[in-house]
Structures are given as structure tokens and as C-alpha cells.
Amino acid sequence: MISRLLAVVLALSLFAGCQSSSPLKTADLPAEFQNAGMPGAEEMRKRCLDQIPPGTTIEKAEKVMTDSGFQVQPMSDGQGAYLYCHLAQGSAKRYGTKNWQVKIRYSAGVVDDISVATGQNGS
């Protein structure tokens, strides 16, 4: 009985991880993001986690981020593998351009956690 219940709960959680609302688009973000306002890293993290909860496949995470306008590059460091996702408002080379850097940590092909940092060129 318990194993059957566990199987149902696991199936439902996997199904929920595969569902997402609308794609994460910069035009859909709160005004503070559209205008590259700072701070906002924690709110961006919450928005990313809505779209890419832990347990999501890394392929789906990459698709969500690229479809949302982020440049995505697989990387690794001493803590393991992650997708480095970068989004800048306007021209990324322009002095003063504000941007977001998202690290999507994963293992065994699924998302473990997401961290977000904000920055500004020339500062």
C-alpha cells in the first residue's frame, strides 16, 4: 500500500515538474527586470524556480532559458556541473548595461538548485 502511494506521489511530482506556465520572457518580467532595475536577484530566482523546479531535466531547463533569451553555456567547477545563463538588457557591451547571471546546478541530468546574481558592465 505504501509503495503504491509512493509511486503515485512520485508520478505526480514528475508530472508537475514537466508542466510550466508561460515561457520566462523578459517582457513578462516585473518592471524592475524589464528596466534592469537592481536589486532583484531573489525575485528572478523565484521566477526561474517557477519555470524550472528541482527535478526538471537539464535539457528542459536549457530550452526554457534559451527560449527566454538567455545565452546558455554548460560549465563545471569544484562543486559540479551547471548551466551558466546570461541575459543583458540592450547591448551587452554598452557601459552601464545591467544583466543577470543564472547558475542552474545539476547532477544525474536533473536540476538541483538555481542561483542568480545581477551585475552591471563597467562597475
DSSP 28: G
pTM metric for this prediction:
0.66
Please report, in tens digits, the pLDDT of each residue of the chain (123 residues total). Answer: 444 433 333 433 433 444 445 555 555 554 545 554 444 788 889 889 999 999 999 999 999 999 988 999 999 999 999 999 998 765 555 555 677 899 999 999 999 999 999 876 655
| Angstrom distance (rounded) from CA 8 to CA 2 | 10
Identify the pLDDT of residue 44: 85
Nearest CA-CA partner of 62 in 36, 34, 82, 45: 82
Identify the pLDDT of residue 54: 97
